[in-house]
Structure 1
Amino acid sequence: MPRPSAAELRPVVHPEGVKDRRSGEHWAGRLYMREVSLRLDPYLVNTRVSPNQLTCLMVVAGVAGGAVLLVPGILGAAGAVVLFQVYLLLDCVDGEVARWRGQTSVTGVYLDRIGHYLCEASLLVGFGLRGADVFHQAGPAAGWLWAFLGTLTALGAILIKAETDLVDVARQRGGLAAAGDEASAPRSTRLALARRAAAALGFHRLVGGIEAGLFILLMAILDLCVPAGGDLFFTRLGVAVLAAVAVVQTLLHLVSVLASSRLR
């Protein structure tokens, strides 16, 4: 079959509203990655590679992004950022190929969600292990504090996603239709204002894969350029910061869901 052009693909793989999904589209996808993926799609849509196989490749890239953090210094942090860009690219491409071929499926959506959980958790656990310096320092057990905090951060990131995903599970079991974005606003005016303020500050994004990768790279650069209490001072400070963000955001997001109309 002839290779379709990006112009032919665009109205099918980027239908109206796909970039405007409030909870389903990453800012980096809207900003640049959807345009990058559109240039890759023509080389994939006529191959035997299935959308679910692309999702599996996405998972491999994301998990590798967490594992590469065990490489010390800038190299490991930069590798994580690059691999999570590949992860985001494949996250765009799998759905676009599925839409072009008419192969969208519930299985694909499920694999995609599981992939997001696993990849972002891998990155955050990897960050904790990086702070513990487990392969390069046979120090006291206190070093494992950072591994614990990284794991705690990963658990928080998973719970935040689960709190959102379980809304539709609860609604379906209660005989209700899936909730739209318009139902997500808290009914309390004060809560709505607090939510808007939190969204403007954007701290909650720090535990997302793309943002966490950039944050980890920044900490690695600071460790290299700013001597302060040891080689991993800023990395360990970053692990603690992300753990605090994850715990607070998990609780606030739960309150936001319970106070909204999504469960009614």
Structure 2
Amino acid sequence: MPEPRPTAPGGPTIAELRDVTQPPSVRTRAGAEHWVASAYLRDISPYLTRVLLRAGFSANGVTWLMILSAALAAVATGWSSVVGAVLAVLFVQLQMLLDCSDGEVARWRRTSSPLGVYLDRIGHYVAECGIAVALGVRATGGLALSGVWISAGLLLGLLVALNKVENDLVHVSRHYAGMAQVRDAEAVKVPTRGVVRRARQVARFVPFHRVFHSVELSLLVLVAALVDLVADGAATRVLLAALVAAALVTVVGHLAAVLTSSRLR
């Protein structure tokens, strides 16, 4: 393992951090870089990364902060008020900002590791599955042991997890087969068979499959909460039902896309 990069008492400059921790290979990743990172978080993250480096945080320590933010976003989602929805959005933005910074700390300190990757994945599962389950609590109007909307939230959480697992199992399967890591490039993901290929092209114009990321989920929860000010909870319930239907289609479509692309070849 390379020796950790020496850090001056005052910490690295923002320019140094951008040069070392945000190379083109990071900024241009097809699947791993969310649009909020490209749009504004990567412009902000070096300032937070510099503070975290000065404070002595390890990369994994920052990732634990990201996991905490993800859990708080899920808890806030279950609070049936506009305030809860606003907090969910803010905690998700913090989660994504910390998600940028943990990798930057790792690249600056030269401490990237499988443990860091594992914890990072855990954070995203906590955020996306947690918000999905909490949406059922929100639609119910509070925490309950059972109920139609509680069950719908649990089902949505399961489907979101399955959708994420379909991606992760590509890497697991290639590893067990002794293959190299799959390239993070759009061309690798394109299905080779006609029907699935055309369906994926349609999905690019109506990207409903992207709503299961924590950013999009939290924004939808906020929109529904605002509508619920005059709809008495109906908007949240409609949102949950629509997300369950979209998740069912996404899980099946994602599986077909993986099986008909070059990701496992």
Fold match (TM-score > 0.5): yes
Question: What corresponds to 1:237 in structure 2?
Answer: 238
Question: What corresponds to 2:33 in structure 1?
Answer: 25
* Equivalent residue for 1:87, pick from 95, 111, 116: 95
Question: What corresponds to 2:157 in structure 1?
Answer: 154
Q: What's the TM-score once normalised by structure 2's chain length?
A: 0.92
Q: Which amino acid letter does the alignment assign opposite residue 159 of structure 2?
A: G
Whether contact under 8 Å (1:126, 1:150) holds in the other structure is yes
Sequence identity (%): 39
Between stretches 181-190 and 30-39, larger displacement belongs to 181-190
- Give the root-mean-square deviation of aligned CA atoms: 1.5
In the alignment of these two chains, the number of paired residues is 255
Q: What's the TM-score once normalised by structure 1's chain length?
A: 0.92
Whether contact under 8 Å (1:156, 1:246) holds in the other structure is yes
Tell me the distance in 2 between the aligned counterparts of 1:83 and 1:206: 17
* Equivalent residue for 1:113, pick from 99, 121, 125: 121
- Mapping 1:1-264, distance limit 5 Å: 1-135=9-143, 144-180=147-183, 181=185, 182-224=187-229, 226-227=230-231, 231-264=232-265
TM-superposed CA distance for 1:72, in Å, is: 2.3
SS at match of 2:142: coil
TM-superposed CA distance for 1:46, in Å, is: 3.2
Between stretches 192-201 and 47-56, larger displacement belongs to 192-201
Whether contact under 8 Å (2:77, 2:221) holds in the other structure is no
TM-superposed CA distance for 1:173, in Å, is: 0.9
Structure 2 residue runs without a partner (length 5+)? 1-8
Q: Which amino acid letter does the alignment assign opposite residue 220 of structure 1?
A: A
Whether contact under 8 Å (2:82, 2:226) holds in the other structure is yes
SS at match of 1:107: helix
Q: Which amino acid letter does the alignment assign opposite residue 154 of structure 2?
A: T
TM-superposed CA distance for 1:69, in Å, is: 2.2
Whether contact under 8 Å (2:79, 2:142) holds in the other structure is no
Whether contact under 8 Å (1:206, 1:245) holds in the other structure is no
